[in-house]
Chains A and B, each alone.
Chain A
């Protein structure tokens, strides 16, 4: 057994032992507040057992292991439905970027330890009403104010902002230069005067994203995490931190086995639906697609193990998996006919076809829309030209609105 197999086995056993207390069944029927409280206890348990900050430096409370161990743990963890998503963004991007770019080391260490133990949550304030994919076009501004700065503007789609203690934010500090050159990166206290968080109810019924308003929010200059005007580079670094994340060829929807089970149970035209050619074709096509993604992911892991950089094909995961999950979920509802109408908005999208279906559009937009991902593949992998960009090189305040 390789070291990694041994690590996986140990992690799997620990996760199994935690499942009765924190897993799927333990969470059934909990209010969001109670679920979050459970999640904080689970995060603390992970920290105590040595499964928090797996690939982070030991001096910050991490375990000092590699990406491989982290991805291995995450893949095992995903199986049990733990309440870990409240911390996914926090520990995924803002806190690692704080470790990398925060100036006051003692402050940073204190924050990281609290975040790792689930006591504090961080959010990432990037997208704005005027644009999500076009990050550098943001409009929230910070103006010099005494020795510090004063922030005014609005962010949107901020996950878990309503539970967050802190956030990292990119703002415009100079509107007279080209759009990506006038940005600066800060951290902010989400409880500071002038910060207003307003949850947005999404189509599926849940409200984990927010609008966040900044009205004359004053911060000192030690909140700054980039050179003035150098915020775009840190923003890109933030987005690059989580390059090796656990992926799911089911597109974060139900496993194909559940579809096969459904097709065996349901009758169509007097016969089991599993005998219907249309259903069979979809099962076969979806299996082939998911098997391809699984092999891409295993190969990426083997490459990391061998000390190589995984290939760019890993960027296909979300694009391919989520949109096909969307269609398969529609077909699963078709298969259930009138029985499909019964809807539980708290059902898990990993297990329930209706929940998977109604939340699928979010998956195709959040974290890089399908179109943005296709552009990235075309430009970065295949070397095709960038889109026509009329705002390129023009000072931000002269770009036609």
Chain B
């Protein structure tokens, strides 16, 4: 069952939009593309100051006790403005892993910092295209991690990571303090994601879940993050649809606005359809947290949001013609972000398999 946003939730959407529109613009984001290891500090300061980092964590752990619906609304606005750092989603994933599967001591140690945003979390599950590999590259033996996880978002700045590792004959979900861990920066097409390869060599780590429970736990964390990211993607797609619409209303060719040509107006109308389907799936998925069909709802949100953002990036630039491919206009910021968000938390290839396994009633 989906929901209608209540007044408080609508206020979160309005206020976060106002703040982000005032503090983030493309002129601040463009230079970040050309330097490795930098993110948009005003964005992250805003997130901390506004309490967005604490939003979806329990009050007992320093959070505000709200949930996916509210965090999704923030993520939607962040997507509209092109968020300046990946920490909101990665920190949320790490915090949920500790909240749901950690000990009291682990919660006390890490959750207050994650809630305030002073501690930055990362999720390191994937091996290549497999967001949840059957045999992870990293091993967990004798409470120590060995091996490399490649392409971890937020990896350059994170203080802790949740790692999906290959334990003795079974998978392990492990919590690791990244202080002193060797990381190599990955120069990327979207550098403010702070992508890093994490190299573990006998690094002490604490297990959060073991065996099939570890896989279930990791999938649940991915699904939670996927819903947040889907909101962010939908926000980005919505912004691009509006930019395309506005440009089609003002740019003229052959004596009329280009938006009067069906090849252009239908393209934008199709974007509207993709955005609304993604939005509907996002709202539904956020409202299903904790329900038996949550993973199905998360997968649907993720698939439709990825399609919406990728398509909107392609088509919005196409509608702009030559000006659309210039550095200065910044549409490539969205195009780059559409791709990095499509890959983080598992690509469509991953979520299609998860979804069909669930729909066909096979073991996940």
Contact = CB atoms under 8 A, between A and B. Distances in A.
Contact of B276 (A264, A306, A316): A316
Interface string A264-290: 100000000010000011011101110
A264 B277 CA distance: 28
Contact of B356 (A280, A291, A384): A280
A288 B230 CA distance: 13
Interface string B283-312: 110000000000001011101100100000
A292 B277 contact: yes
Given A384-B259, A388-B260, A291 B266 contact: no
Nearest to A279: B356
A310 to B, nearest CB: 11
A378 B269 contact: yes
Q: Considering residues A256, A293, A303, A386, which has the most beta carbons from chain B within 10 angstroms of its beta carbon?
A: A293
B260 A386 contact: yes
A280 B352 contact: yes
Contacts of A293: 277, 280
A303 B4 CA distance: 8
Contacts of A288: 277, 281, 299-301, 303-304, 307, 355
5 contacts: A260-B360, A287-B355, A287-B359, A375-B265, A377-B272
Given A283-B359, A288-B300, A316-B277, A298 B259 contact: no
A33 B1 CA distance: 42
A320 B266 CA distance: 13
Contacts of A378: 259, 265-266, 268-269
A258 to B, nearest CB: 12
B260 A292 contact: no
A382 B356 contact: no
A242 B286 CA distance: 32
Interface string A342-383: 000000000000000000000000000001001101110111
B52 interface: no
Contacts of B259: 378, 384-385
A313 B280 contact: yes
A292 B280 contact: yes
B3 interface: yes
A280 B353 contact: yes
Given A288-B355, A295-B281, A384 B273 contact: no
A320 B273 contact: yes
Given A263-B360, A289-B304, A374-B262, 6 more contacts: A284-B353, A292-B278, A299-B4, A320-B277, A375-B269, A388-B256
B300 A384 contact: no
Contact of A260 (B301, B303, B359): B359
Nearest to B303: A288
Classify chain A's interface size. Answer: 35 or more
Contacts of B280: 291-293, 295-296, 299, 313
Contact of B265 (A280, A296, A384): A384
B2 interface: yes
Contacts of B303: 284-285, 288
Interface string A293-331: 101101100110010000001001001100000000000
Interface in B54-89: none
Interface of chain B, helix or strand or loop or mixed? helix
> Chain B contact residues (Cβ within 8 angstroms of A): what range?
35 or more
B324 to A, nearest CB: 18
B286 to A, nearest CB: 11
A278 B351 CA distance: 14
A281 B352 contact: yes
Contact of B300 (A287, A374, A375): A287
Contacts of B268: 378, 382, 384
A284 B265 contact: no
B269 A306 contact: no
Given A283-B359, A284-B351, A319 B273 contact: yes
Contacts of B129: none
Nearest to B271: A382
Interface of B: 1-4, 245, 248-249, 256-257, 259-260, 262, 265-266, 268-270, 272-273, 276-281, 283-284, 297, 299-301, 303-304, 307, 351-353, 355-356, 359-360
B303 to A, nearest CB: 4
A387 interface: yes
A313 B271 CA distance: 12
Contacts of A295: 2, 280-281, 283-284
A287 to B, nearest CB: 6
Contact of A306 (B4, B245, B257, B299): B4
Centre residue among A263, A379, A384 by max chain B CB count within 10 A: A384
Nearest to A296: B280
Given A292-B280, A293-B277, A295-B281, A382 B245 contact: yes
A235 B127 CA distance: 60
B273 A377 contact: yes
A385 B276 contact: no
A304 B278 CA distance: 22
A379 to B, nearest CB: 8
Nearest to B278: A292
B50 to A, nearest CB: 27
A302 B260 contact: no
A281 B356 CA distance: 8
B292 to A, nearest CB: 15
B249 A383 contact: yes
A385 B269 CA distance: 12
A382 B266 CA distance: 11
B4 A313 contact: no
Contacts of A299: 2-4, 280, 283
Nearest to B305: A288
A373 to B, nearest CB: 8
